[in-house]
Amino acid sequence: MKFGEFTLHIIRECTFKLDGGAMFGVVPKTLWGKTSQCDEQNRVPLACNLLFIETPNANVLIETGMGPRWTERERQRYEVKPLLDYDNFLASIGKCNNDVDAVVISHLHFDHAGGAVAFRENKLVPAFPRARYYVQRGEWEFAHNANARAKGSYRHEDFAPLMEYGVLELIDGDTQIVPGVQVRVTGGHTSHHQVVVFESGDRKGVYFADIIPTKNHLSPPWVMGYDHYPLTSCDIKSEYLATAAEENWLVVFDHEVEVPWGHVKMTGDNKFEWQPLPVQTLAHRQVLDSAVP
Protein backbone atom coordinates (compact mmCIF):
# COMPACT_ATOMS: atom_id res chain seq x y z
CA MET A 1 0.00 0.00 0.00
CA LYS A 2 1.31 3.46 -0.91
CA PHE A 3 1.74 5.74 2.09
CA GLY A 4 3.17 9.11 1.09
CA GLU A 5 6.59 8.25 -0.32
CA PHE A 6 6.61 4.92 1.54
CA THR A 7 5.23 1.55 0.53
CA LEU A 8 3.82 -0.56 3.36
CA HIS A 9 3.26 -4.32 3.42
CA ILE A 10 1.81 -6.63 6.05
CA ILE A 11 3.77 -9.88 6.17
CA ARG A 12 1.84 -12.51 8.10
CA GLU A 13 4.47 -14.74 9.63
CA CYS A 14 2.27 -17.27 11.44
CA THR A 15 -0.96 -17.85 13.26
CA PHE A 16 -0.99 -19.16 16.81
CA LYS A 17 -3.21 -19.29 19.88
CA LEU A 18 -2.95 -18.14 23.47
CA ASP A 19 -5.19 -18.52 26.48
CA GLY A 20 -8.08 -16.07 26.28
CA GLY A 21 -7.91 -15.26 29.98
CA ALA A 22 -4.23 -14.32 29.67
CA MET A 23 -4.99 -12.21 26.58
CA PHE A 24 -7.67 -10.15 28.32
CA GLY A 25 -6.38 -9.89 31.90
CA VAL A 26 -9.07 -8.80 34.35
CA VAL A 27 -11.81 -8.56 31.71
CA PRO A 28 -14.36 -11.33 32.47
CA LYS A 29 -14.87 -14.04 29.86
CA THR A 30 -18.57 -13.15 29.70
CA LEU A 31 -17.41 -9.90 28.06
CA TRP A 32 -14.36 -10.90 25.96
CA GLY A 33 -16.11 -14.09 24.85
CA LYS A 34 -18.55 -11.94 22.86
CA THR A 35 -15.81 -10.60 20.58
CA SER A 36 -13.14 -13.35 20.62
CA GLN A 37 -14.12 -16.96 19.91
CA CYS A 38 -12.10 -19.42 21.97
CA ASP A 39 -11.50 -23.13 21.29
CA GLU A 40 -12.14 -26.05 23.69
CA GLN A 41 -8.84 -25.23 25.45
CA ASN A 42 -9.94 -21.62 26.00
CA ARG A 43 -7.39 -20.36 23.44
CA VAL A 44 -8.10 -17.43 21.10
CA PRO A 45 -6.71 -17.21 17.54
CA LEU A 46 -3.90 -14.74 16.92
CA ALA A 47 -1.44 -13.92 14.15
CA CYS A 48 2.03 -12.40 13.91
CA ASN A 49 1.74 -9.46 11.52
CA LEU A 50 5.11 -7.98 10.61
CA LEU A 51 5.16 -4.57 8.97
CA PHE A 52 7.61 -3.95 6.13
CA ILE A 53 8.20 -0.28 5.31
CA GLU A 54 9.96 0.65 2.08
CA THR A 55 11.25 4.19 2.43
CA PRO A 56 13.27 6.12 -0.18
CA ASN A 57 16.37 5.58 2.02
CA ALA A 58 16.04 2.11 3.46
CA ASN A 59 13.79 -0.88 4.07
CA VAL A 60 12.61 -1.40 7.62
CA LEU A 61 11.10 -4.62 8.99
CA ILE A 62 9.09 -4.30 12.19
CA GLU A 63 9.09 -7.50 14.28
CA THR A 64 10.22 -11.00 13.29
CA GLY A 65 7.41 -13.21 14.63
CA MET A 66 7.64 -16.64 16.27
CA GLY A 67 10.24 -18.09 13.91
CA PRO A 68 10.66 -21.79 13.08
CA ARG A 69 12.56 -23.08 16.13
CA TRP A 70 9.80 -24.86 18.06
CA THR A 71 9.48 -28.41 19.30
CA GLU A 72 6.41 -30.40 18.31
CA ARG A 73 5.10 -30.12 21.86
CA GLU A 74 5.44 -26.32 21.90
CA ARG A 75 3.87 -26.09 18.44
CA GLN A 76 0.84 -27.93 19.74
CA ARG A 77 0.63 -25.90 22.92
CA TYR A 78 0.39 -22.64 20.96
CA GLU A 79 -1.00 -24.20 17.77
CA VAL A 80 1.72 -22.40 15.79
CA LYS A 81 1.19 -22.48 12.03
CA PRO A 82 4.12 -20.96 10.13
CA LEU A 83 3.06 -19.16 6.95
CA LEU A 84 6.34 -18.37 5.26
CA ASP A 85 9.65 -19.74 4.13
CA TYR A 86 12.15 -18.57 6.75
CA ASP A 87 15.01 -18.36 4.27
CA ASN A 88 12.84 -15.89 2.41
CA PHE A 89 10.51 -13.95 4.74
CA LEU A 90 9.59 -11.46 2.03
CA ALA A 91 8.91 -13.80 -0.89
CA SER A 92 5.22 -12.79 -0.98
CA ILE A 93 6.23 -9.25 -1.94
CA GLY A 94 9.10 -10.20 -4.24
CA LYS A 95 11.95 -9.29 -1.88
CA CYS A 96 14.52 -11.30 0.04
CA ASN A 97 16.07 -11.30 3.52
CA ASN A 98 19.02 -9.36 2.13
CA ASP A 99 16.77 -6.43 1.23
CA VAL A 100 16.17 -5.55 4.89
CA ASP A 101 18.32 -2.67 6.19
CA ALA A 102 16.82 -2.28 9.66
CA VAL A 103 14.86 -4.60 11.94
CA VAL A 104 12.91 -3.09 14.82
CA ILE A 105 11.86 -5.42 17.65
CA SER A 106 9.25 -3.94 20.03
CA HIS A 107 10.38 -6.18 22.89
CA LEU A 108 12.18 -9.53 23.12
CA HIS A 109 9.29 -11.93 23.86
CA PHE A 110 9.47 -15.10 21.75
CA ASP A 111 6.57 -14.12 19.48
CA HIS A 112 8.42 -10.95 18.44
CA ALA A 113 12.09 -12.01 18.42
CA GLY A 114 11.70 -15.68 17.39
CA GLY A 115 12.43 -14.98 13.71
CA ALA A 116 15.39 -12.66 14.33
CA VAL A 117 17.97 -15.42 13.95
CA ALA A 118 18.19 -18.53 11.79
CA PHE A 119 20.19 -21.75 11.61
CA ARG A 120 22.84 -21.64 8.86
CA GLU A 121 25.31 -24.53 8.76
CA ASN A 122 24.25 -25.53 12.28
CA LYS A 123 24.92 -22.09 13.74
CA LEU A 124 22.40 -19.47 14.84
CA VAL A 125 23.10 -16.30 12.87
CA PRO A 126 21.11 -13.11 12.13
CA ALA A 127 18.25 -13.99 9.74
CA PHE A 128 18.63 -10.67 7.90
CA PRO A 129 22.34 -10.57 7.09
CA ARG A 130 22.63 -6.91 6.07
CA ALA A 131 20.34 -5.42 8.74
CA ARG A 132 21.01 -3.55 11.96
CA TYR A 133 18.62 -4.67 14.72
CA TYR A 134 17.08 -2.01 17.00
CA VAL A 135 16.19 -3.02 20.56
CA GLN A 136 15.80 -0.84 23.65
CA ARG A 137 18.76 -1.26 26.01
CA GLY A 138 16.35 -1.48 28.98
CA GLU A 139 14.50 -4.35 27.30
CA TRP A 140 17.78 -6.14 26.55
CA GLU A 141 18.86 -5.84 30.18
CA PHE A 142 15.50 -6.95 31.51
CA ALA A 143 15.46 -9.98 29.19
CA HIS A 144 18.71 -11.11 30.86
CA ASN A 145 17.44 -10.51 34.40
CA ALA A 146 13.74 -11.33 34.15
CA ASN A 147 12.14 -12.63 37.33
CA ALA A 148 10.14 -15.85 37.68
CA ARG A 149 6.87 -14.27 36.45
CA ALA A 150 8.45 -12.78 33.31
CA LYS A 151 11.22 -15.09 32.20
CA GLY A 152 9.05 -17.73 30.51
CA SER A 153 8.47 -15.26 27.65
CA TYR A 154 12.16 -14.91 26.77
CA ARG A 155 14.45 -17.37 24.94
CA HIS A 156 18.04 -16.15 24.92
CA GLU A 157 18.90 -17.99 21.73
CA ASP A 158 16.42 -15.71 19.89
CA PHE A 159 18.62 -12.68 20.44
CA ALA A 160 22.09 -13.62 21.80
CA PRO A 161 23.49 -14.14 18.25
CA LEU A 162 22.61 -10.52 17.40
CA MET A 163 25.16 -9.33 19.96
CA GLU A 164 27.65 -12.01 18.95
CA TYR A 165 27.57 -10.95 15.28
CA GLY A 166 27.71 -7.22 16.07
CA VAL A 167 24.44 -6.30 14.35
CA LEU A 168 22.62 -5.09 17.46
CA GLU A 169 21.85 -1.40 18.11
CA LEU A 170 20.93 -0.99 21.77
CA ILE A 171 19.01 2.28 21.91
CA ASP A 172 17.99 4.48 24.82
CA GLY A 173 14.50 5.95 24.52
CA ASP A 174 12.72 7.48 21.51
CA THR A 175 14.96 7.16 18.44
CA GLN A 176 14.74 7.82 14.70
CA ILE A 177 15.57 4.60 12.82
CA VAL A 178 15.54 6.12 9.31
CA PRO A 179 13.96 9.43 8.20
CA GLY A 180 10.20 9.13 8.83
CA VAL A 181 10.41 6.03 11.03
CA GLN A 182 10.76 6.49 14.76
CA VAL A 183 10.49 4.23 17.80
CA ARG A 184 8.84 5.51 20.96
CA VAL A 185 9.06 3.85 24.35
CA THR A 186 5.66 3.16 25.89
CA GLY A 187 6.38 0.76 28.74
CA GLY A 188 3.23 -1.08 29.85
CA HIS A 189 3.61 -4.53 28.29
CA THR A 190 7.25 -4.58 29.44
CA SER A 191 9.06 -1.68 31.11
CA HIS A 192 10.83 -0.65 27.85
CA HIS A 193 8.33 -1.84 25.24
CA GLN A 194 8.46 0.38 22.12
CA VAL A 195 5.95 1.22 19.37
CA VAL A 196 6.85 2.51 15.89
CA VAL A 197 5.52 5.81 14.55
CA PHE A 198 6.02 6.41 10.82
CA GLU A 199 5.21 9.35 8.58
CA SER A 200 5.60 10.35 4.98
CA GLY A 201 4.05 13.27 3.12
CA ASP A 202 0.95 14.19 5.08
CA ARG A 203 0.35 10.66 6.36
CA LYS A 204 1.15 9.30 9.77
CA GLY A 205 0.78 5.85 11.31
CA VAL A 206 1.60 3.73 14.34
CA TYR A 207 2.49 0.08 14.84
CA PHE A 208 1.23 -0.60 18.37
CA ALA A 209 2.99 -3.94 18.93
CA ASP A 210 1.72 -5.44 22.20
CA ILE A 211 0.16 -2.24 23.55
CA ILE A 212 -2.91 -2.96 21.37
CA PRO A 213 -2.44 -6.48 19.94
CA THR A 214 -5.86 -6.89 18.26
CA LYS A 215 -8.97 -4.87 17.43
CA ASN A 216 -10.60 -6.50 20.46
CA HIS A 217 -8.07 -4.69 22.68
CA LEU A 218 -9.03 -1.23 21.46
CA SER A 219 -10.82 -0.25 24.66
CA PRO A 220 -8.13 1.30 26.90
CA PRO A 221 -8.91 -0.81 30.03
CA TRP A 222 -8.87 -4.08 28.01
CA VAL A 223 -5.19 -4.82 28.53
CA MET A 224 -3.47 -8.19 28.47
CA GLY A 225 -2.88 -10.25 31.62
CA TYR A 226 0.70 -10.59 30.34
CA ASP A 227 1.40 -6.86 30.78
CA HIS A 228 3.95 -6.06 33.48
CA TYR A 229 2.46 -2.58 34.03
CA PRO A 230 -1.22 -2.76 33.01
CA LEU A 231 -2.12 0.71 34.32
CA THR A 232 0.60 2.23 32.12
CA SER A 233 -0.75 0.29 29.12
CA CYS A 234 -4.25 1.64 29.80
CA ASP A 235 -3.06 5.27 30.00
CA ILE A 236 -0.75 5.08 27.00
CA LYS A 237 -3.53 3.56 24.88
CA SER A 238 -5.89 6.42 25.71
CA GLU A 239 -3.21 8.94 24.86
CA TYR A 240 -2.15 7.43 21.51
CA LEU A 241 -5.68 6.54 20.40
CA ALA A 242 -6.93 10.09 21.01
CA THR A 243 -4.13 11.43 18.78
CA ALA A 244 -4.57 8.67 16.19
CA ALA A 245 -8.31 9.42 15.96
CA GLU A 246 -7.83 13.17 15.80
CA GLU A 247 -5.04 13.09 13.19
CA ASN A 248 -6.41 10.12 11.24
CA TRP A 249 -3.31 7.95 11.73
CA LEU A 250 -3.02 4.54 10.12
CA VAL A 251 -3.12 2.03 12.99
CA VAL A 252 -1.51 -1.44 12.75
CA PHE A 253 -2.15 -4.35 15.16
CA ASP A 254 0.53 -7.02 15.54
CA HIS A 255 -1.66 -10.01 16.55
CA GLU A 256 -4.96 -9.31 14.74
CA VAL A 257 -6.21 -12.26 12.64
CA GLU A 258 -8.50 -10.20 10.39
CA VAL A 259 -7.43 -7.10 8.43
CA PRO A 260 -4.78 -5.74 10.81
CA TRP A 261 -4.66 -2.11 9.68
CA GLY A 262 -7.19 0.68 9.61
CA HIS A 263 -8.25 3.84 11.41
CA VAL A 264 -9.91 4.64 14.71
CA LYS A 265 -12.76 6.99 15.44
CA MET A 266 -13.45 8.51 18.83
CA THR A 267 -17.10 7.81 19.70
CA GLY A 268 -17.20 9.17 23.25
CA ASP A 269 -15.02 9.87 26.27
CA ASN A 270 -12.12 7.39 26.00
CA LYS A 271 -14.21 5.26 23.59
CA PHE A 272 -12.97 4.25 20.16
CA GLU A 273 -14.31 2.42 17.16
CA TRP A 274 -12.23 0.34 14.73
CA GLN A 275 -12.51 0.98 11.00
CA PRO A 276 -10.40 -1.59 9.13
CA LEU A 277 -9.09 -0.87 5.62
CA PRO A 278 -10.54 -2.99 2.80
CA VAL A 279 -9.04 -6.45 2.27
CA GLN A 280 -7.70 -5.31 -1.12
CA THR A 281 -5.07 -3.19 0.65
CA LEU A 282 -3.28 -6.41 1.67
CA ALA A 283 -0.74 -7.46 -0.94
CA HIS A 284 -1.59 -11.15 -0.81
CA ARG A 285 -4.64 -13.21 0.08
CA GLN A 286 -2.67 -15.50 2.36
CA VAL A 287 -2.89 -12.89 5.12
CA LEU A 288 -6.59 -13.43 5.46
CA ASP A 289 -6.89 -17.04 4.27
CA SER A 290 -4.92 -17.90 7.38
CA ALA A 291 -7.41 -16.10 9.62
CA VAL A 292 -9.88 -18.96 9.89
CA PRO A 293 -9.58 -20.07 13.54
Using CB under 5 A as the binding rule, whether residue 256 contacts Zn ion is answered as no
Backbone angles phi, psi at 136, to 5 degrees: -65, 135
Asked whether 257 and 291 are in contact (CB, 8 A), the reply is yes
Smallest separation, CB 91 to Zn ion (Å): 23
Backbone angles phi, psi at 69, to 5 degrees: -90, 75
Asked whether 169 and 136 are in contact (CB, 8 A), the reply is no
Give the span between the Cα atoms of 18 and 39, in whole angstroms.
10
- Which CB, 36 or 55, lies closer to Zn ion? 36
Give the x/- contact pattern for Zn ion in 92-131, rule: CB under 5 A: -------------------x--------------------
Smallest separation, CB 278 to Zn ion (Å): 26
Size of the site for Zn ion (CB under 5 A): 2
Give the span between the Cα atoms of 92 and 70, in whole angstroms.
23
- Which CB, 191 or 248, lies closer to Zn ion? 191
Smallest separation, CB 112 to Zn ion (Å): 6
Asked whether 138 and 191 are in contact (CB, 8 A), the reply is yes
Task: List the interface residues with Zn ion, window 133-152 (CB under 5 A).
Answer: none
Smallest separation, CB 209 to Zn ion (Å): 7
Give the span between the Cα atoms of 240 and 244, in whole angstroms.
6
Give the x/- contact pattern for Zn ion in 1-40, rule: CB under 5 A: ----------------------------------------
Chain-centre distance for alpha carbon 220:
18
- Which CB, 99 or 111, lies closer to Zn ion? 111
**Dmax (CA) of the chain:** 56
Smallest separation, CB 78 to Zn ion (Å): 11
- Which CB, 10 or 204, lies closer to Zn ion? 10
Smallest separation, CB 122 to Zn ion (Å): 29
Using CB under 5 A as the binding rule, whether residue 210 contacts Zn ion is answered as yes
What is the Rg, in whole angstroms, of the alpha carbon atoms belonging to the chain? 18
- Which CB, 189 or 204, lies closer to Zn ion? 189
- Which CB, 9 or 112, lies closer to Zn ion? 112
Return the closest-CA partner of residue 16 out of 87, 93, 74.
74
Quick one: DSSP state of residue 99? G
What's the residue count for the chain?
293
* Interacting residues with Zn ion (CB under 5 A): 111, 210
